[in-house]
């Protein structure tokens, strides 16, 4: 089932997984044991544009990388739910929805692998994924980006929603 313009136009909240969505899923291990990830600058720009346009942006990830958390905080992402058991991601999501009184039909969740399945399979959530997501995730996603995780998938999805709402490209109006 493909997402429609009407479904994109209802979205008020973006929720992203980290590894495999904001990153390409690679984790580089340093001699110190520290891990680092790479995030696409265009994906970062899209998140900034979404925040400036008044969208809520949340992160739900079992990863608890301090560098990623610091980067998100510096980007002014306020709703960051990182760490905890992989099988508890859905509880973090439900806690966020309940805490903030979010309407699931206004949420677009972007995930890429099996731990995202319980959230993405919820009937009212608009589910999206990168092109290289797990087969099971692609099967339930209403929108599959032509871009891979960490390589523009976030930009693509955010841009699709913002274009449907006439909010993409506002930076061009200031030139």
Q: Give the pLDDT confidence score for residue 67 in this predicted structure.
A: 82
Q: Give the pLDDT confidence score for residue 134 in this predicted structure.
A: 97
Q: Give the pLDDT confidence score for residue 96 in this predicted structure.
A: 96
Q: Which residues of the chain have pLDDT under 70?
A: 1, 171-175
Beta bridge partners of 88: none
Residues of the binding site for substrate? 19
Q: Cα dihedral sign for 93, 13, 59, 138?
A: positive
Q: Give the pLDDT confidence score for residue 37 in this predicted structure.
A: 81
Residues of the binding site? 17, 19, 112
Residues of the binding site for Mg(2+)? 17, 112
pLDDT digits 0-9 by tens, 68-91: 889 899 999 999 999 877 778 999
Q: Give the pLDDT confidence score for residue 147 in this predicted structure.
A: 98
């Amino acid at each position: 089932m493909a997402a429609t313009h009407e479904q994109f136009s209802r979205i008020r909240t973006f929720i992203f997984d980290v590894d495999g969505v904001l990153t390409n899923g690679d984790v580089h291990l340093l001699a110190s044991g520290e891990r680092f990830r790479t995030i696409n600058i265009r994906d970062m720009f899209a998140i900034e544009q979404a925040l400036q346009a008044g969208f809520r942006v949340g992160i739900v990830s079992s990863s608890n990388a301090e560098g990623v958390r610091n980067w998100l905080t510096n980007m002014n992402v306020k709703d960051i739910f990182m760490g905890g058991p992989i099988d508890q991601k859905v509880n973090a999501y439900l806690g966020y929805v309940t805490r903030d009184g979010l309407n699931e039909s206004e949420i677009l969740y972007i995930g890429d692998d099996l731990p995202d399945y319980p959230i993405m399979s919820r009937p009212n959530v608009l589910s999206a994924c990168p092109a290289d997501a797990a087969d099971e995730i692609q099967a339930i996603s209403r929108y599959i980006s032509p871009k891979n995780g960490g390589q523009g998938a976030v930009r693509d999805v955010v841009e699709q929603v913002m274009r449907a709402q006439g909010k993409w490209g506002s930076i061009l109006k200031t030139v």
